[in-house]
Amino acid sequence: MGHFTVHLTRDFLAPPETIFAGWTNPDWHARFETPEGSGMRHEGYDTRAGGTEIVAIEHEGTRIGEMIDEIRVCDPPHRLLVQGRGVFGGACRMTMQTLVEFEPHGDGTRMHCTSQIAALDDQPTEAQVTEGWTTMLDRFETLLNEDAT
């Protein structure tokens, strides 16, 4: 079993209200978290406290698992706390708790993303989660920039 914490910080040139609204927008979330060709597909995203997000994970067109996330705290525009589990082969193979915080920083927003992971079979690795978060934040920033133009 592997366990680790990943923490990333990213600065954006928009106020916290704008960043929080973009991050919790279901259409945007699907685009930056599960874009076409990623092997993942959004099946729902309800950001209210108690709401759920379900992401199907596929390989060569066959569903091999899913991430089921429960929104534990939704405090616009300050924080979002998500507790999730990865289910593969009918069994829970990983758990994750993620805190995303949005704070004013200069003329924009500083976003802190902290994920605590416990995974059976040492999958995913810390490097994979870090790369996934970095890619997601890059895609989010692209959407934000496209929306500003």
CATH code (residue 89): 3.30.530.20
129 Cα distance to chain centroid: 10
Edge-to-edge strand order for the sheet containing 108-119? Answer: 2-12, 108-119, 91-105, 79-88, 62-75, 52-59, 40-45
Model confidence band, residue 17 (pLDDT cutoffs 50, 70, 90): very high
pTM for the model: 0.92
Average pLDDT over the chain, rounded to whole?
Answer: 93
Q: CA–CA distance from 35 to each of 28, 44, 49, 137 (Å)?
A: 10, 14, 25, 13
Tokens representing 137 are: 């934040």
Count of domains forming the chain: 1
Q: Which residue has the higher pLDDT, 84 or 38?
A: 84
Q: Range of 47's domain?
A: 2-148
